[in-house]
Amino acid sequence: MAAGVELGGLGRLVVKVGSSLLIRADGGLDRSWLQTLIADVATLKERGSDVIVVSSGAVALGASLLGINRRRARLPQLQAAAAAGQVSLVNAYETGLGEFGIGTAQVLLTRSDTENRRRFLNARATLSELLGRRIVPIVNENDTVSTDEIRYGDNDRLAARVAQLVMADALILLSDVDGLYESDPRDDPDAVHVADVRRIDERIRGMAGETRTDTGSGGMATKVEAARIATHAGCETFVTLGSRPHPLEALAAGARHTVFRGNGTPAARRKQWLAGSLDVAGTLEIDAGAAAALRDGGSLLPVGVVSLDGEFRRGDVLRITTGGGRELGRGLAEYGHAEAEKLLGARSDDIERRLGYRGRPVLVHRDELVLFDND
Ligand code: GLU
């Protein structure tokens, strides 16, 4: 048995559950298996982890509810199936988590929600708020409005984007195989299991091939692609067998898996990206008090901003300078320039009056800020 994975010690986890695990051969939901997964999630939450579940199964469930044959169905039929199935899917999580006194929320995303920076910030703010309230968000693709050009198409990649979005420490892809093999284990009984991947290169991609299961759309190739996205964001990725009861407990106890090692920590990777971004859209000049607060790890509040420059929008990269024009760091704008202008020098309790609506408390959030080492 391989060494156990210290899941309880990981702060923020994204767990992806494939359709083939949740949906029985007769098209119904496998509630008894789901309850074992939920019990594992409850244990992790008890140990202080934040957990987000990215769950497939809406299309498969809805198709059986509406009597749609998925193999012959057209896109609108599949979308109708997703809309119907999503209700039962989230209901099952809500009931199950409720037994442990844990709240549930449904979050449906499309690809542009994670690729467009403004929407990215919105989705992230919502997910952080939910996690802060000790709720387990159940995420799926918003299949009803996602046509081929704009979809992820598989929840492996969606889960990786969510992991990147929330700066998760680990992404766990529960699968119908226990990890990556050098050759396809279904054709080759002697296929060698790969336990640890430090770099995703052509050789690793070659091993993943192009696999497809009947119930879900992800195969090992999309898992490796998901691992590439997540590890690049500093998030360790695990692929393990999900079909056994208590799959997360099993992983923690050392069940066979493949781990794809993260590249640095999530925060460090994010800051690297910010520091290196070339498309800076504007500048905020801040006072000495704000500069000190940033160095202490704080966010940039409107009260400390003296002037601004540039026609930036929410989500754009801004240069942060001090009085002498020295660049202190960079961060993502929480407001567009017109609103930021109204907020110059505003105390927190004055934000609502200046904007005419409640607004957000910071101009640049500390998670979206990098300071240069220049003093
Ligand atoms: N969003 C799809 C569903 O809920 C699943 C996509 C996938 O299988 O990865 O059925």
Per domain, the residue ranges of the chain are 7-266, 277-371
At residue 189, the pLDDT reads 86
Instruction: Give pLDDT tens digits along the chain (375 positions).
Output: 456 777 766 689 999 999 999 999 888 999 999 999 999 999 999 988 999 999 999 999 999 999 999 889 998 999 999 999 999 999 999 999 999 999 999 999 988 887 777 788 889 889 999 999 989 999 999 988 877 666 777 899 999 999 998 989 999 999 989 999 998 888 888 989 999 999 998 889 888 875 444 444 557 889 999 999 999 889 999 999 999 999 999 999 999 999 999 887 877 877 877 887 778 999 999 999 999 999 999 999 999 999 999 999 998 999 999 988 889 999 999 999 999 999 999 999 999 999 999 999 999 999 889 998 754
Strands 236-241 and 170-175 turn out to be: parallel
In Å, how far are 126, 175, 187, 207, 320 from 184, measured between CA atoms?
A: 40, 15, 6, 8, 51
Q: Is 218 a pocket residue for ligand 1 (Cβ < 6 Å)?
A: yes
How far is the centre of ligand 1, averaged over its atoms, from the C-alpha of 139 (Å)? 11
Class of domain 277-371 as given by CATH: mainly beta
Atom index in ligand 1 nearest the CA of residue 143 equals 1
Name the residue of 143, 156, 225 whose CB sits within 8 Å of the most ligand 1 atoms, as the mutation to test its pocket.
143
> How deeply is 92 buried, as exposed, middle or buried, from its count of CB atoms within 10 A (0-12, 13-18, 19+)?
buried
Calculate how far, in angstroms, residue 215's C-alpha sits from the geometric centre of ligand 1.
Answer: 9
216 lines ligand 1 (CB under 6 A): yes
CB 237 within 8 Å of CB 171: yes
Q: How far is the C-alpha of 230 from the C-alpha of 157, rounded, in Å?
A: 9
Q: Which atom of ligand 1 is nearest to the CA of 60?
A: 10
DSSP codes, 180-240: EESS-TTT-TTPPEE-EES---HHHHHHH-----SS-S--HHHHHHHHHHHHHTT-EEEEE
Q: How far is the CA of 84 from the centre of ligand 1 (A)?
A: 13
Residue 80, token pair as written in the block: 């109708």
Distance CA 8, CA 49 (A): 6
Instruction: Compute how many other C-beta atoms are within 10 angstroms of the C-beta atom of residue 118.
Output: 16
102 Cβ neighbours under 8 A, 6+ residues apart: 41, 42, 45, 134, 135, 136
CA of 155, closest atom in ligand 1: 9
Residues 6+ apart with CB under 8 A from 313: 118, 281, 333, 336, 337
* Test site for ligand 1: of 86, 155, 212, most ligand atoms within 8 A of the Cβ: 155
For domain 7-266, give the fold: Carbamate kinase (3.40.1160)
Which tokens belong to 206? Answer: 């070659």
State in Å: Cα 20 to ligand 1 middle: 10
- Check pocket membership of 234 for ligand 1, CB cut-off 6 A: no
Maximum alpha-carbon separation in the chain? 70
pTM for the structure as a whole: 0.82
Q: Do 333 and 299 touch, CB atoms closer than 8 A?
A: no
Nearest CA residue ID for atom 2, ligand 1? 56
Contact 274, 64 (CB under 8 A): no
